[in-house]
């Protein structure tokens, strides 16, 4: 039975400090028998001050965070899903997950498709699309320690069509790293995570940012692991950063899909047409 680790972080504006925390967690997780470590969205750098952040956001090939985490994966012999902003050739940035295998090689990349452009009643305003380019590819990864893994990021969770495609591809697990705001987290975090697990009949793994950050924002935390039936196997709470482990039973996927074969029963819904 594979064991995974989730790193709940309060990432700051110093990328090297963030990378060191991830490397330390990788060594600890591997020492406890984990085969994969999942980090939150923007684990390598969380800074809403875009002028200051621009000093650290570089192409993936030049990133000291990517280099440090790749080395940590190889040294510990553990897969790592790293959340990090990277610079693109057109001058914009990508909100990216880089997945490293246990040799420290890049196994996959996923750029967040849905941009967080919202204005909340609390006065918080976010315009991710002002600096970030949306991704265009659905990404699944074969032959991870969890089987077929689907990659998503944070706000993607609110768009069922993406998860319908991941279900169509029969993912065994879906990663949803996040930096949820506190108001939206309280309202929707657990609800959405459990719903996506049930819809995909797959494990959902959702490492999250938590607490008060150096850039002034607050994040909700509650890193979760949810099984294919919607049962919460792990909830790290909303108080502090830390590392947690969770056993994943692959047999649970087959049990749920046999008992409730919603993926097999899915039909194409015809679109309505006006007379």
Residue 157 carries which DSSP code? G
Q: Say what the pLDDT of residue 130 is.
A: 77
Q: Which CATH class is domain 3-262?
A: alpha beta
The chain-wide mean pLDDT, for the chain, equals 92
Helices (H), the chain: 15-31, 50-53, 64-76, 160-168, 182-200, 251-259, 262-265
Q: Concatenate the DSSP letters of all residues of 161-230 into one string.
A: HHHHHHHHTT-SEEE--B--BHHHHHHHHHHHHHHHHHHHTSEEEE-BBEEE-TTS-EEE---EEE-TTS
The arithmetic mean of pLDDT across residues 57-71, rounded, is 98
Q: Say what the pLDDT of residue 263 is.
A: 57
Do residues 67 and 27 touch, judged by C-beta distance below 8 A? no
Query: What is the greatest pairwise CA distance in the chain?
Result: 65
Least confident of 6-20, 64-78, 257-271: 257-271
Say whether 51 is catalytic.
no
Residue range 174-187, pLDDT digits in tens: 999 999 999 999 99
Query: What residue has token string 């591809």?
Result: 169
Beta bridge partners of 210: 220
Q: What is the pTM of this model?
A: 0.92
Asked if residue 53 has pLDDT above 60, the reply is yes
The arithmetic mean of pLDDT across residues 12-25, rounded, is 98
Asked if residue 241 has pLDDT above 80, the reply is yes
Catalytic residue among 60, 112, 171, 199: 112
Residue range 92-151, pLDDT digits in tens: 999 999 999 999 999 999 999 998 755 555 655 556 777 889 999 999 999 999 999 999
Say whether 89 is catalytic.
no
Strand bridging mode 36-38 / 3-8: parallel
* Side-chain-facing half-sphere of 55: CA atoms under 13 Å: 9
Provide the pLDDT confidence category of residue 66 given band limits of 50, 70 and 90: very high
Provide the pLDDT confidence category of residue 259 given band limits of 50, 70 and 90: confident
Do residues 58 and 87 touch, judged by C-beta distance below 8 A? yes
Provide the pLDDT confidence category of residue 34 given band limits of 50, 70 and 90: very high
Asked if residue 81 has pLDDT above 90, the reply is yes
Provide the pLDDT confidence category of residue 251 given band limits of 50, 70 and 90: very high
The arithmetic mean of pLDDT across residues 264-268, rounded, is 58
Calculate the CA 53 to chain-centre distance. 21
Q: Say what the pLDDT of residue 248 is.
A: 98
Catalytic residue among 60, 128, 154, 246: 154
Say whether 41 is catalytic.
yes
Do residues 250 and 1 touch, judged by C-beta distance below 8 A? yes
* Side-chain-facing half-sphere of 48: CA atoms under 13 Å: 16
The arithmetic mean of pLDDT across residues 210-224, rounded, is 96
Query: What residue has token string 């909340």?
Result: 120
Question: Helix (H, G, I), strand (E, B), or coil: what is residue 30?
Answer: helix
Q: Tell me the CA distances in angstroms from 3 to 20, 28, 33, 37, 235, one per residue in order.
A: 22, 13, 7, 9, 16
């Amino acid at each position: 039975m594979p064991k995974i680790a989730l790193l709940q972080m309060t990432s700051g504006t110093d990328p090297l400090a963030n990378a060191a925390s991830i490397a330390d967690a990788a060594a600890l997780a591997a020492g406890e028998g984990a085969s994969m470590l999942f980090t939150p969205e923007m684990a390598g750098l969380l800074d809403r001050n875009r002028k200051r952040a621009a000093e650290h956001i570089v192409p993936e090939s030049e990133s000291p965070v990517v280099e440090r985490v790749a080395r940590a994966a190889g040294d510990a012999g553990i897969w790592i899903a790293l959340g990090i902003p990277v610079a693109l050739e057109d001058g914009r940035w990508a909100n990216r997950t880089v997945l490293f295998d246990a040799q420290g090689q890049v196994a996959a990349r996923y750029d967040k498709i849905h941009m967080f452009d919202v204005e909340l009643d609390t006065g918080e305003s976010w315009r991710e699309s002002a600096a970030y380019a949306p991704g265009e590819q659905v990404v699944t990864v074969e032959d991870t320690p969890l089987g077929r893994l689907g990659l998503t990021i944070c706000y993607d969770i609110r768009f069922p069509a993406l998860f319908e495609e991941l279900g169509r591809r029969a993912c065994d697990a879906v990663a949803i790293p996040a930096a949820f705001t506190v108001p939206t987290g309280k309202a929707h975090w657990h609800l959405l995570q459990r719903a996506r697990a049930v819809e995909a009949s797959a494990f959902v793994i959702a490492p999250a940012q938590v607490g008060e950050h150096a850039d002034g924002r607050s994040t909700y935390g509650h890193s979760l692991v949810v099984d294919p039936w919607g049962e919460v196997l792990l909830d790290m709470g909303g108080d502090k950063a830390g590392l947690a482990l969770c056993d994943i039973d692959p047999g649970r996927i087959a049990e749920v899909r046999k008992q409730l074969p919603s993926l097999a029963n899915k039909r194409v819904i015809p679109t309505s047409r006006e007379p």
